[in-house]
Amino acid sequence: MDPQAAKMIGAGIACIGMGGAGVGVGTIFGHYLAAALRNPSAAQGQFGNLIFGFAVTEALGIFSLLIALLLLFAL
Amino acid sequence: MDPIHQFEIKTLFPIAHIGGVEIAFTNSALYMLIGLLVILLLMLGATGPRALVPGRLQAVAEISYEFVAGTLRSSAGTEGMKFFPLVFSLFMFILVLNVIGIIPYTFTVTSHIIITVSLAALVFFTVIIYGFWKNGLHFFKLFVPSGVPGYILPLVTFIEIMSFLSRPVSHSVRLFANMLAGHITLKVFGGFVTMLGALGFLGWLGAVLPLGLTVALTALELLVAFLQAYVFAILTCIYLNDAIHPGH
């Protein structure tokens, strides 16, 4: 196979990992919203935890995007 | 229309050659100076009048101060407030540079990994040095959680050490990749507009759709610019909390 074509396919496959991060971020925000509607007065206090969980989850999706960018432009 | 072209570092004027390495004033350095100037003017202008009832500019400064101070106090306790200058500087520096980067034809300093790695390494080594200086060898308790059964303790300790060492990587790559990916997306959608616009009148009608999306994505980028600065600051607070209170 042409190495350039293999790189492109590899970058595409690497981007599948971002789907997992999408599921995770959606779970975090969905559960936050569900809990906030049950007890709105406690929601504001958990905002920091929400952003922390979002950041840690999102990092994993960003890593797979990084692999795709490395394959396309750097390697 | 190369979407990576916008991240190119250009030499504005060379300063010196040291051992075959060129030291130059680049557009990255220029935008960092502009960012510093913006923060300086904002803070000096805001704290100049020192009115009892704050005006608009003073309210901006007070809100940002209270915001960062509240984040730091809630995650690292009152002992962590001695690190307030560090956290506030990091937050304002990243926020201003991110927001400046959204303006068309400007350069996004935080979309270069060397900048974000430098900032993350600063936090990482601050945590290690302060942790050992304050707690001595008790700092190693960070890696040994209490209440874990003895037979899985080596495994848990190994995982804790690995997660501690991977912190600067994820801390820096998160900011860098978010800014990079956001600006590439904006550029790609901008490219769609010009491609469709070149087709003639029908193309102009079609180009309305990607143009609207570009505007919406710019709004999203503004949110991401603030969120990533906040995330960088809150993770710094959490890492500093480990240095101040290493026991689990």
pLDDT in tens, B133-150: 988 888 888 888 888 888
Model pLDDT, residue B97:
95
- Domains plus CATH for chain A? 3-74 (1.20.20.10)
Burial class (CB in 10 A: 0-12, 13-18, 19+), B195: middle
When pLDDT is averaged across residues B68-97 and rounded to a whole number, the result is 92
Does the CB of A36 have a partner CB in chain B at under 8 Å? no
Question: Can you list the positions of beta strands (E) in B56-203?
Answer: none
Count of domains observed in chain B: 1
Q: At what angle do helices B84-102 and B56-76 cross, to 10 degrees?
A: 130
CB of B185 within 8 A of CB of B218?
no
pLDDT at B233 over 90: yes
Q: Are A59 and B75 inside 8 Å of each other by CB?
A: no
End-to-end CA distance of chain B: 52
Model pLDDT, residue B35:
94
The residue among B174, B185, B223, B239 with the most chain A CBs within 10 A of its CB, best to mutate, is B174
Measure the CA–CA gap between A22 and B76, rounded to whole angstroms: 30
Measure the CA–CA gap between A35 and A25, rounded to whole angstroms: 15
Percent of chain B with pLDDT over 90: 42
When pLDDT is averaged across residues B108-120 and rounded to a whole number, the result is 92
Mean pLDDT estimate for chain B: 89
Burial class (CB in 10 A: 0-12, 13-18, 19+), A25: middle
Q: What is the pTM of this model?
A: 0.86
Percent of chain B with pLDDT over 70: 99
Model pLDDT, residue B83:
93
Domain range spanning residue B183? 5-244
pLDDT in tens, A20-58: 999 999 999 999 999 999 999 988 888 888 888 888 888
Provide the sign of the torsion angle of the four alpha carbons A18, A20, A24, A29, taken in this order: positive
pLDDT in tens, B188-215: 888 888 888 888 888 888 888 889 999 9
Q: Are A62 and B177 inside 8 Å of each other by CB?
A: yes
Phi, psi (degrees; rounded to nearest 5) at B14: -75, 150
Contacts of B156 by beta carbon, 8 Å cutoff, 6+ apart? B144, B145, B148
**How many CA atoms lie within 13 Å of A31's alpha carbon, on the beta-carbon side?**
11
CB of B98 within 8 A of CB of B227?
no
Model pLDDT, residue B121:
95
If pLDDT is split at 50, 70 and 90, which confidence band does A10 have? very high
Phi, psi (degrees; rounded to nearest 5) at B87: -65, -40
* Closest partner CB to B177 (pick from A52, A55, A66): A66
If pLDDT is split at 50, 70 and 90, which confidence band does B248 have? low
Identify the residue with better confidence: B64 or B14. B64
Phi, psi (degrees; rounded to nearest 5) at B168: -60, -30
Model pLDDT, residue B120:
95
Structure tokens at B79: 């002992």
> Chain B: nearest CA to A22, how far in angstroms?
14
pLDDT at B1 over 70: no
If pLDDT is split at 50, 70 and 90, which confidence band does B105 have? confident
Q: ipTM above 0.95?
A: no
Question: Which chain B residues contact residue A51 at CB under 8 A?
Answer: 227, 230-231, 234
Model pLDDT, residue A57:
87
